[in-house]
Structures are given as structure tokens and as C-alpha cells.
Amino acid sequence: MVSTGWALPRVVVAAPASGHGKTTVATGLLGALRRRGLTVSPHKVGPDYIDPGYHGLAAGRPGRNLDPWLVGAERVAPLLRHGASVPTPADVAVIEGVMGLHDGAVGRRGYASTAHVATLVDAPVLLVLDTTAQGRSAAALVLGMRAFDERVRVGGVILNRVGSPRHETLLRDALAEVGVPVLGAVSRSVEVAAPSRHLGLVPVAEQAPESLAVVAALADLVAATVDLDAVLDLARSAPPLTVPAWDPVAAVGGQGSTAAVGGPAGTAAVGGPAGVTAVGGPARTGGPTVAVAAGAAFTFSYAETAELLAAAGATVAPFDPLRDPGLPAGTRAVVIGGGFPEAHADALAGNAALRAELAAFDGPVVAECAGLLYLGRSLDGAPMCGRLDLTARMTGRLTLGYREAVAAADSPVTRAGERVRGHEFHRTVTDPGHGDTPAWRFDGAAHGFVDGRVHASYLHVHWAGQPHAARRLVQACR
């Protein structure tokens, strides 16, 4: 582990509430700073998978999540240092917040909020403010954001959706009264819209040309409207990071491997969008092959999952259920994470050879959310793998939130009675809602399925907070 201090410039992009333009500014900052020749490290507060894809496309390296609920508060700063160190040390880290600055886990007094993460990584906050229908009151709002938690340092504001030059002057004068510098102003007339879907933005892996155009436009926008030198000065005001970097080998308690966690040349890294450098070293042989679902239908994966599997001794091999006729050669275990299979149901159904192979595969299989749906008999009437005796369908209801769960049974990644923290994020339901042997129990009910060597549920778990899951999976396939 690295234990000496590192003067990593870093800034948290936050807002008073969702919808103020955090993703616009954060993604644009990453792209604009990269154009200056800087190595930028992208991070996202919370469990979001889609924003980090846009961040990764802008930065040229995988976007990573910082979530105290999922990994424990003590791991947040080490994970930041790790992410900013690989594959090469970054010149600056940009951390996009979640929801409003002080919004965190319900009933936990700001735990896992953007403000909480800003204090854990000791970084200044750049507040993005939607100024629609606001004048001088904007300064009072910023003042309240700054005063609510004195540990949080709001170092500047970017005015978004400014109506006119006169409006901008009014806002700048008001913020000068409370001593908060304005580092940029974006007019309403130049907004850049990213394609959206029922769970948020459309993942970058689904539409690379359009995504590249959006990211380029955001970089243009921020370069033209934000004082990048002032943002860098703010980022450089962060004190050195003195915590050691998170180490996947130490986390799994093993010797590690140099197994690659990316695909062949020209393919996306596991956990990152197309064009992002794969995390990990050169490929080696000897470790059991763990196949990890990727491609447009299965874009939700934390970068640390593949790193932990490699550290536990596995050779990690991505596969695309939309395109690949079979699992990678020598596959001993399969991990199928989240995504949007409902948007690709017909194409997934059309890959009958892979569906049949997965139905007959006798090794350990771990599936989360989209993976759960793919393993069932059908999704909105389209045939899926049939490995689990369930059907799934879209609904109009969003299931969303953090969960505290207890493992209901032994499986390739859990031991009965173990407690984990995860999150749910879906608009689908399964029938039945759980198997005879459920995967988890939370909120007074059973959830998910443990069927032979299959562990599948809607619950997303960040393996950096549960590194034994990677170790157990690799042991199970040996």
C-alpha cells in the first residue's frame, strides 16, 4: 500500500438539488481539462452507473463510484486515491455529487451525501446553481448551503441556465455580497441534452457516436463558459491525501494476479465505456476464467469488481450477450451485472446459442438486477435463458433506494446470515418475487434466488465493501 501523502488536486461538483446541471458541468470539466493535456480522474458520489460512463468517456479512464453506504466511510478516501492512481497517476480528480449537497441515506442525517463524501476526501465544493427564476435570492440559497455544515467548504459557484447578461450581473453581484466567487456562467440558450431513458441517461455503451458527440459538446460548453484556471486553483487548495490507497490484493487477502480485466483491442474495459483504457496488467494463464457480462445491455458494473476478481487469482473475460455466440473459452464462473435488458430483449432473445449455454452452464453464476432478468424464462414475453423459473416484465413503478440485507442462504458469494449493504434501482418485477431459497432478506421480506450454484437478485452490491465475494467466487470455480 502507498502510505505517503499525495497532493492530488480535487474538487466536488455539487448542487442544491437534482436537475441543476451537475452532470453537465462535471462531464464538461473532465473533457475540457483533458483537452488541456491533464490526466483527469472521474468519480461519482453514490451508486449511479450511468453518469460514470459519461465521465469515463470524457476522461479516457473508467469512472468510479464513492459511496460510504456501499463500501464503508473508511474506504472512500482510499478508493479515491486508488482510482486516481491507476492506470497512471492523475493530475486532478473531479467528483460529481448526487442529488442535493446534503441529501444522503434516508433517516441517516446526511450519511452518504455529497457533503459527507466531500468531508471524507477533504475536497472543496464547486456548487452548480440553476438560476431559472432566481435573482438575489440565489445568494441566500448558496449561503445556506455553505452554512448548513461548517465542515463543507463551498469554494465557488457555477451559474447555470442564466437568462441574460443582466441576469448574470445581478447574480454575480449578489454572490459577491456573501463572499462566494462565481467561476462560470452557462446561458439557457446553450444547454446540451444527453439522451435519457426511464432510469436516467442512456448508457454510453449503447450509442457510442452520439455519446462522443454529447461529451465533446459538453467539453466545448465548459471550456467557453467556465474559468478553468480558477477551478484548478480551487482543486489545488485541497490538502494532501494521507490515507493509503485501496489495494484489491490486500482486500481479498490473496497474492493477486496480472490477469487482464479488459477485452480484446478495441473493446470496452469491464466497468468502463468503449475507448476507456482497461484496468489491469497483461493477460496471463493459469487462473480460472470468470466471464463478466458487458456490452450495451449490461453496462452496470463497478470497476473494482474486475480488479478484485483478478486480485483473487481469476482471469477476467468480458463477453457481450448481444453479440457473442458463446461464453469465453474455459469459463468457470459467470458474473452478470445490471443494465437495460428490457431495451434489448429481442436481440438477447435472438442469441439462442448463448442463452442455451447459460441455461446448461454448471459453474457458479452471480447475477444482479439485469442479470436476474436475463436468467429467467422471459422478459416482457421475449425468451431469456430459462436458468431460473421466473418471468419478468416492465412496470410503471420505480423501485429505488439503499438496502440493508441479510444473506438468506449459502451461495458462491455469500454465507447465510452475513449482512451487506446494497441498493435497488429498477422498474421491473419478477414472478415469483423470490425463490424457495431466497438470496436475501430485508424490509421484512425475502428477495432473490439461490438455485444450485446461482445467486441472483435485484440487489446491487459494491464488492469493494464485500471483497470476500470475489474471493469466494474464485474459490468456488476452482
Active site residues per annotation: 369
Q: Is the bond leading into 432 cis (omega within 30 degrees of zero)?
A: yes
99 grid coordinates: 442529488
74 grid coordinates: 473508511
233 grid coordinates: 486553483
Contact 70, 279 (CB under 8 A): no
Contact 194, 202 (CB under 8 A): yes
Q: What is the DSSP letter of 269?
A: B
Return the axis-axis angle of helices 22-35 and 208-225, rounded to nearest 10°.
Answer: 80
Maximum Cα–Cα distance across the chain: 68
Residues in contact with 444: Cβ distance below 8 Å, sequence separation at least 6, in sequence order: none
461 grid coordinates: 452490491
Contact 273, 29 (CB under 8 A): no
Q: How far apart are CA 162 and CA 155, in angstroms?
A: 20
Q: What is the DSSP letter of 277?
A: P
Nearest one of 2, 29, 155, 157 to 91, comparing CA atoms: 29
Contact 369, 456 (CB under 8 A): no
112 grid coordinates: 452518504
Q: How far apart are CA 315 and CA 284, in angstroms?
A: 7
Contact 431, 390 (CB under 8 A): yes
Instruction: Give the CA radius of gyration of the chain.
Output: 22
